[in-house]
Amino acid sequence: MVTSLPIEEIREPLMKAIRAGKRRIVIEAPTGSGKSTQIPQMLLEGGCLGEAAQAVILQPRRLAARMLAKRVAEERKVELGGEVGYTIRLDDLTSAKTRIRFVTEGVLVRQMISKPKLEGVQAVLCDEFHERHLYGDLTLGRILDLQESARPDLILMVMSATLETEKLAKTIGAEVLRSEGRMYPVEIRYLPKREDLSGSGVAEVAAREAERLVRDGKGDVLIFLPGAYEINRCRRLSPAWGTWGRNRSGNFRRRKSSSPRRSRRRGSCSRRCRGWAWERAEARSQADLGLKLSLGLGKLEA
């Protein structure tokens, strides 16, 4: 499935490298270029996974693994858990038909203990590798060992937007592929004076500045806050919250906490959100799946 995403520019070079026998590839692409969702599909559609083997994509967070799997399943118009699935702690939605599987790093480490040769896996993609977790480093080392011994056919890809590509590629002997992505104009405005952001200060500043943006500007407002406490604090501090959430937006809604199986069907998180929705947000380029904290600012009409 060819898309208009920036990552498409490396489709042919990627297929050419694999056909030439390259089994270690480092992919550098900006956030929003589509690497997390499109690279696994390129491998499947290009016949790089054989007849029934899987591409396993490592994600540092459980929620990201679930939402990316859901997104790819939607793009391929298949049921989640069939051709595309995910495995995280205490939740496995895969089947014998699964060809693209998103997992957290610890899950793959446990799989390598039970299946040291990774039978049934043809490609391992280490996404967001710049975050550098212990499990990620263990996985990379084990895959390199496998390639030099029992699994010379195993494909290893390391993907990141901010990785020191040349150093890593030189260390592991990999080929480097780059996607330049697309740039959009960004205007940066600073607060007129230093603010105290300790404690609940960040929520207070966020609520105040969001109201100012709503009054002065047009379009959407997206706020990133560190946790559920700050989100709820921002809601309580904002007098216009009800106006944003109901009259102008209509997109914000409160949800009760639920089981992972129920929450994955509707795109929300479960316990960690304390009942408040995390909604999906596509990047402007319709690429990588982001996670938008639904703060009630939602889709603000001009």
Block means of pLDDT (10 residues each) for the chain, 302 residues, are 86 95 93 92 95 93 94 96 95 95 92 92 92 84 94 94 86 92 81 80 86 77 84 78 44 41 44 35 35 36 32
Is the Cβ–Cβ distance between 111 and 58 less than 8 Å?
no
- So what's the pLDDT on residue 71? 95
Architecture in CATH for domain 6-178: 3-Layer(aba) Sandwich (3.40)
For position 92, what pLDDT does the model report?
94
Q: What pLDDT was estimated at residue 242? A: 52
**pLDDT for position 230:** 86
Rg (CA), the chain: 21
Q: Which pLDDT does position 172 carry in this prediction?
A: 92
Rounded-to-integer distance, Cα 99 and Cα 151, Å: 19
**32-60 burial, b if ≥16 CB within 10 A, otherwise e?**
bbbbbbbbbbbbbeeebbeeebbbbbbbb
Query: Residue written as tokens 């990047």?
Result: 283
- Please report the pLDDT score of residue 241 as a whole number: 56
Domain ranges for the chain, please list them.
6-178, 201-293
Residue ranges of alpha helices (H) inside the chain are 11-19, 35-45, 62-75, 105-114, 134-147, 165-172, 201-216, 228-237, 241-242, 260-266
